[in-house]
Each structure stands twice: as C-alpha cells, then as structure tokens.
Structure 1
Amino acid sequence: MFKRTSIVKDARVITVSDSSVFEIGDSANMKLRNNVLAVQRQAELFFGNEGNLNDYPLFSRPIPIPQINENISVTRYNLSPFIRVNHISIVGVASSSVLHIGSTGIIDAEARIKHIRQLLHR
C-alpha cells in the first residue's frame, strides 16, 4: 500500500455512529458491519419474541459482488508525499460508512436495515 502523510489543520465532525469510522492516517483493512431491525408502532406493544434477524431473509442473503471483466491500468503521479486538508466540516457519518483522510488497502462495509411500521387501522 502506498503510504502518504496526512496533514489536517481543522476537522469538525458532529457524529460518528453505527459501525462507522473517522480516520486520519493510513489503514490496511476496514471491516464495517451494521444490522438494524427497527419496529415502529402507533400503539406501545411488545410481544417478547421479536428482534430475531434470522427471521428476515434480508439479513442472511449474500450481497452480490460486482465482477469487473476488463483489464484496468492505473498510473498515479503523487507529486507530494502529503495529503493536505485545510478544513472539513461533517454533520454525520453513519451506517457503516467511512470518512478517511489517508490511504486504505481494503474497505469491506455492509449496512442492512429493515424498518417496519405498524399502524392502527380505523
């Protein structure tokens, strides 16, 4: 992995949550996961047997990996060994995402969210 020096003068990040990363500098591997099951009900009611992610195929089916069927040639000319950031302002980094100033080898990120709304019928 090509290493460079990250120089950050000012970084303001309000929130980093839910398997997310804010990193200044180099990293070899990042593996991020975030499984969420959210049930929103109009009436407050809990049955006691809820919340098993295995009950929903969304959380167990394989994520398709795109296949690149062509040769790609990349040439980089980094005239400076530094990555310079004067100012960055971020409100939020969430749901298996990365705010990274630096070099990264491999990022493996996954977020699976199942949101259920149950409303009363009238």
Structure 2
Amino acid sequence: MLQRTSYVTDLKVTTVSYSSVIQLGDSEIINGFSRAIAVQREEEVFYSDEGSFSAYPVFNKPIPFMPIREQLVQQTSHIFPVLKVKKIDILGISASSILHIGNSQNISLESRIKHIRQLRPR
C-alpha cells in the first residue's frame, strides 16, 4: 500500500448518517452498505406489512461488474510523500458514503434505495 502521510488542519462535518463513515488514517479494506425504502404519501397512512426489502427486486439484483480488459500501465512518483489540506467543510455524509483521509487498499460501497410515491386519486 502507498506510504504517505496526510495532514488536515481543520475538519468540520455537520452530519454523518445511514451507514456512513469518517475514516482518519490508513485502511486496508472499506466496505459500505446501505439500503432504504422511501415512501412519500399525500395522506399520512402506515400499513404494518410494508417495508420488506425482499418484496422489491432492486434489493436482490446483482450489480454487474465489468471486468477491465485493457492493459493498465501506471507510473507514480511521490517526491514529497505528504498530503496537506488546510480545511475540509462538509454539510452531510449519508447513505453508505465515506470521508476517508489516508490510504486504502480496497474500497467497496453500495447503496440501494427504493423510492415510492403514492398520490391520492384525482
């Protein structure tokens, strides 16, 4: 893994929610996973049997990962192995998101949301 030091003078994050992470320092593996059902209705009605993730195919479909078939050539030079940032100001981090200051080997993030809007008949 890349060896570099990260310096941040000022970090301000207002909100972190729903399977989100603030990672300060190096990490080998980061896995983030979040799923939600968001129902918006014109009338305030709640049915006790709703909210099952298995009822919606979006939560069960496999994510297609396309393999990289081309040859990649990379050459890096870190003359000064220090990353310096004066200020980071974030309003919100949500839904399986990550603020990471440091080095990572492997990162995998997944967020699935089913939005449902139920309107009254006109």
Larger CA deviation: 7-16 vs 54-63:
7-16
- The ranges of structure 1 where at least 4 consecutive aligned residues each deviate by more than 6 angstroms after the TM superposition are none
Three-state SS of the structure 1 residue aligned to 2:2 is coil
User: Which position in structure 1 is the counterpart of 2:48?
Assistant: 48
Q: Tell me if 1:10 matches 2:10.
A: yes
Query: TM-score w.r.t. structure 2 length?
Result: 0.93
Matches within 5 A, 1:1-122: 1-122=1-122
RMSD (Å) for aligned C-alpha atoms: 1.1
Three-state SS of the structure 2 residue aligned to 1:111 is strand
In the aligned structure 2, how far is the partner of 1:36 from the partner of 1:118?
17
Percent identity of equivalent pairs: 44
Post-superposition offset of 1:47: 2.0
CA contact (8 A) 1:3 1:26 kept: no
Unmatched 5+ residue regions in structure 2?
none
Query: TM-score w.r.t. structure 1 length?
Result: 0.93
Unmatched 5+ residue regions in structure 1?
none
In the aligned structure 1, how far is the partner of 2:47 from the partner of 2:88?
45
